[in-house]
Chain A
Amino acid sequence: MARHNMIAAWAGRARRGSDPVQILAGIVLCLCALAPTEAYAYLDPGTGSFALQGLIAGVAGGVLSIRTYWRRIGGLFRRKTSSETWSGSWPERPPSGGDA
């Protein structure tokens, strides 16, 4: 049930904003949420603990988006100046923060 509220929150946010990234993220989350999770729900995770993880998620999300934008800016800058040392390909995933 918790997961369904999560979808609603995301869907609501996606409707309000027209950002396609948000809509896509909403769809991905919906798909994730449809997968069965209730089977493991025999443990009450605790409202306080989940609210805390929500805060951490918010902070982490903010840090990650700042990092992504920073990389993009950095990437543009590097492409122009370090063409002599450019190896020809970027790593598929950034070495850190790539899990998000």
Chain B
Amino acid sequence: MRDPGSFRDPSAYVFSSGDRIFRAVTDEAWHNFQLFRSSGAYEEMKARGWIIATEEDGAPHPEHGDRRLFEHPKLPFVSYPYEWPFSLLKRAALLHLDIQLRALDFGFALSDASAYNVQFTGIKPIFIDTTSFVPYREGDYWAGHRQFVEQFVNPLLLRALFGVSANAWCRGALEGLPTSDVARLIGPLRRWLTPNVLVNITLPDLLQRRAWRSDDPGTSPSKPLPKTALRFMLQRLRDWISRLAPRRDESAWQDYDADNSYSPEDEERKRAFVAHFSLSTRPSRTCDVGCNTGYYAEVLLQSGARSVVGFDSDTGALELAVSRATMAQLNFLPLLSDAANPSPAQGWAERERSGLRERVNADAMLALAIVHHLAIARNIPLASAVEWLMSLAPRGVIEFVPKSDPMVERMLRLRADIFADYGKEQFEAAIIRHGRIARMLELSPGGRALYEYEREIS
């Protein structure tokens, strides 16, 4: 099946066959890759874990217009830049620049700078578009500069300069955040006096507008760009991005681990319940809905789970989750996603980027302390919330938080309790509608409770 998002570069397209991923390439793309491989760049970058492995099948395939094929290993999970927390977008940006700089040493350039060409295994970025390496010729301009700025730099800058997370904007603007818009947001002092902003945002924006206004908008490269100048541009960008940090880091949930409504004993029992679930099911792909700083993702991974993709809507907690995954070297990918509004299928023909549910191919699911956020804070009917969570994986653990819980009491403090259907019985009934309760643990009498479910195979 052809990947509906793989259409921009006519020299190659991605398709899957069962569990295998292929790329059908033209003769020119094939030849370029042979050059790339024979230069030694491919082996080096693959050994560093920078680019995805590529097996070649040199026979022309009539069913693909006589194109030849590359095969790549299937990624455990496909994520999109608008789901990456700040530090993952930053890692992806740095990897892109590192690859460009190193490719230049071998005489190659990248034909574009799409952030969608970077994927993550755990929190480690990997470049997946092996056909975008093209021979570099002295004097060539960096064709991907605008795209790099709009897809990587502008979202990072919004967070670094203003403390504003740009994920929602990026989700709506698949081509990246327009430089003209970002230039308008940055004040005149910073726009003209910060050299990196001046070079990458202010001047391109100004020149672009001038070109539009002029009679001859087709301003073409009139001077060759020396390789040293190109390298300088890339290196300056790299230095700049590596210094960028979120401006404001405090958030509602990042202190949750240290400041929650559990007693140490309850927390230990909760931990043991999750560990038991992981040990008994040994899932290969777990999704953790409301992963917060990744405390329970770590418990899962220490107890037999092989990989965890976590979702949370709190940017500060996600930064801590990335730190945790880095420190403990966890196969854990924390992503920004609001459970009440997961990424939709979108882009060209509404199929270019697939929805979250379509990409989650989990065999286990963890949803701790999230149901009340969906059912009470977001008014989602309890049965509907449970059904959606259970649809993510055939087995999992869901925590129920009753109305008597201090967190729920706080949620209801300023609003009327319109949630007559929110209760333990209704919660259990909702599970039983789609499967069975395999195990249950009440953390305190009448208080929070953990449910392990097994979905009915329909």
Docked complex Cα distance between A50 and B233 (Å): 13
Bitwise, A20-61 to B at CB < 8 A (1) or not (0) is: 000000000100100110011011111111111111111111
Is A45's CB under 8 angstroms from B223's CB? no
Q: Which of B134, B219, B231 is close to A54, meaning CB atoms less than 8 Å apart?
A: B219
B284 at the interface (CB under 8 A from A): no
CB distance from B313 to the nearest CB of A (A): 33
CB distance from A11 to the nearest CB of B (A): 11
Given contacts A32-B137, A43-B111, A50-B141, contact A57 B218 (CB under 8 A): no
Given contacts A2-B220, A39-B11, A43-B147, contact A53 B228 (CB under 8 A): no
CB distance from A7 to the nearest CB of B (A): 10
Report B-chain residues with C-beta under 8 Å of the C-beta of A5.
218, 220, 222
Given contacts A47-B217, A49-B146, A55-B203, contact A97 B141 (CB under 8 A): no
Docked complex Cα distance between A6 and B223 (Å): 7
Q: Give the total number of A-B pairs whose CB atoms are below 8 A apart.
A: 139
CB distance from A82 to the nearest CB of B (A): 27
Binds A, one of B204-212, B248-256, B343-351: B204-212
Docked complex Cα distance between A9 and B231 (Å): 25
Report A-chain residues with C-beta under 8 Å of the C-beta of B205.
48
CB distance from B174 to the nearest CB of A (A): 14
CB distance from B454 to the nearest CB of A (A): 48
Docked complex Cα distance between A6 and B145 (Å): 19
Docked complex Cα distance between A57 and B225 (Å): 4
B224 at the interface (CB under 8 A from A): yes
B381 at the interface (CB under 8 A from A): no
Docked complex Cα distance between A54 and B9 (Å): 25
Report B-chain residues with C-beta under 8 Å of the C-beta of A99.
138, 226-228, 231
Q: Which residue of B lies closest to A36 (CB)?
A: B28
CB distance from B209 to the nearest CB of A (A): 8
Q: Which residue of B lies closest to A48 (CB)?
A: B208
By the criterion of a CB under 8 Å from any partner CB, how many residues of chain A are at the interface? Answer: 38
Report B-chain residues with C-beta under 8 Å of the C-beta of A96.
228
Docked complex Cα distance between A40 and B135 (Å): 11
Is A48's CB under 8 angstroms from B218's CB? no
A64 at the interface (CB under 8 A from B): yes
Docked complex Cα distance between A52 and B201 (Å): 10
Is B221's CB under 8 angstroms from A57's CB? yes
Is A56's CB under 8 angstroms from B225's CB? yes
Instruction: Indicate the size class of the contact surface on chain B.
Output: 35 or more
Given contacts A32-B139, A45-B145, A100-B226, contact A52 B218 (CB under 8 A): no
Q: Which residue of A lies closest to B144 (CB)?
A: A43
CB distance from B101 to the nearest CB of A (A): 13
Is A29's CB under 8 angstroms from B139's CB? yes
Is B112's CB under 8 angstroms from A43's CB? yes
| Central interface residue in A36, A48, A51, A60, by most chain B CB within 10 Å | A48
Docked complex Cα distance between A95 and B179 (Å): 37
Given contacts A29-B139, A32-B138, A43-B143, contact A50 B9 (CB under 8 A): no
CB distance from A83 to the nearest CB of B (A): 31
CB distance from A47 to the nearest CB of B (A): 4
Report A-chain residues with C-beta under 8 Å of the C-beta of B11.
39
Q: Which residue of A lies closest to B114 (CB)?
A: A43
Is A40's CB under 8 angstroms from B226's CB? no
Docked complex Cα distance between A53 and B232 (Å): 12
Report A-chain residues with C-beta under 8 Å of the C-beta of B138.
32, 99
Is A40's CB under 8 angstroms from B143's CB? yes
Report B-chain residues with C-beta under 8 Å of the C-beta of A71.
none
Is B220's CB under 8 angstroms from A53's CB? no
| Central interface residue in A32, A52, A59, by most chain B CB within 10 Å | A52
Is A48's CB under 8 angstroms from B203's CB? yes
Docked complex Cα distance between A97 and B220 (Å): 25
Is B203's CB under 8 angstroms from A52's CB? yes
Given contacts A43-B111, A50-B219, contact A100 B134 (CB under 8 A): no
Docked complex Cα distance between A44 and B211 (Å): 15
Report A-chain residues with C-beta under 8 Å of the C-beta of B219.
47, 50-51, 54
B199 at the interface (CB under 8 A from A): yes
**What are 17 inter-chain pairs, A to B, with CB distance below 8 A?**
A1-B220, A5-B218, A32-B138, A39-B10, A45-B147, A46-B147, A47-B211, A48-B204, A49-B208, A51-B208, A53-B233, A54-B225, A56-B225, A57-B226, A61-B224, A64-B226, A99-B231
CB within 8 Å of B: which residues of A? 1-3, 5-6, 9-10, 29, 32, 35-36, 39-40, 42-61, 64, 96-97, 99-100
Given contacts A45-B146, A57-B226, 13 further A-B contacts (CB under 8 A): A29-B139, A39-B11, A40-B111, A42-B10, A46-B146, A47-B208, A48-B209, A49-B146, A49-B149, A52-B145, A52-B199, A64-B226, A99-B228
